[in-house]
Structure 1
Amino acid sequence: MKDHKLRNLFLGLLFDGIGMLSFVVPGIGEFSDVIWAPVAGWLMTRLYKGKIGRAAGVITFVEEMLPGLDVVPTFTIMWLYTYVLKSAKNEKIISAK
């Protein structure tokens, strides 16, 4: 679990960085999003399995396709949800029993 946690954090930061690269070169940024959006959505479904991964993949695809939203770190947000928020919620449920 810990290996996946660190691996997913590193990959998420890398993929968010790649998504933000479209701001570096003015003019071709939005064109590159047409290529990156489906790739990013697919990568999200590979990093996070199940329904939550598929939902995150769709959200990532839409976020990358919409102009100006490339600054939203979708992969990092998903990592935080999976390994921080969801873990804290599960711990709360376990301690309540």
Structure 2
Amino acid sequence: MNTNKVLAKKQTSNKTAKLILGILFDFIGMLSYLIPGIAETLDIVWAPISGFLLVAMYKGYTGKVAGIIGFLEEILPFTDVIPTFTLTWIYQYIFKKED
């Protein structure tokens, strides 16, 4: 198999994995709405984890900005419904069209 084909297949697999993980992480972030009373505590714990995961998943400037936005989105009240991970994936692979 051609090296370019193998690389393209790996990049597609990586993009798909990031999308699936992003949807899962967005769902985790929204779980606080399902458990009344402890939502604020969950958000305090999840906010830095969310920010770190975004920085780790998306390198460079995009990851840093997404990490800050993700942290703020989780720590601020009533913003958990914003799917930051999925929106970052869309920005990275559709708008910027990066591999």
* TM-score (normalizing by structure 2): 0.86
CA RMSD of superposed structures (Å): 1.0
Report the secondary structure of 2:77's partner residue: coil
Identical counterparts, % of pairs: 50
The separation in 1 between residues aligned to 2:14 and 2:46, in whole angstroms, is 23
In the alignment, what sits opposite 2:57? 47
Q: Please give the per-residue CA displacement for 1:17-68, whole angstroms capped at 9, x wherever unaligned.
A: 0000000011101111000000000000111001110111011000000000
Residue 37 of structure 2, aligned match among 8, 27, 36: 27
Instruction: Could you tell me which runs of 5 or more consecutive residues in structure 1 were left unpaired when the two chains were aligned.
Output: 91-97
Instruction: Could you tell me which runs of 5 or more consecutive residues in structure 2 were left unpaired when the two chains were aligned.
Output: 1-10
The separation in 1 between residues aligned to 2:62 and 2:92, in whole angstroms, is 9
- Structure 1 segments, 4+ long, off by >6 Å, are none
Report the secondary structure of 1:72's partner residue: coil
Residue 92 of structure 2, aligned match among 72, 78, 82: 82
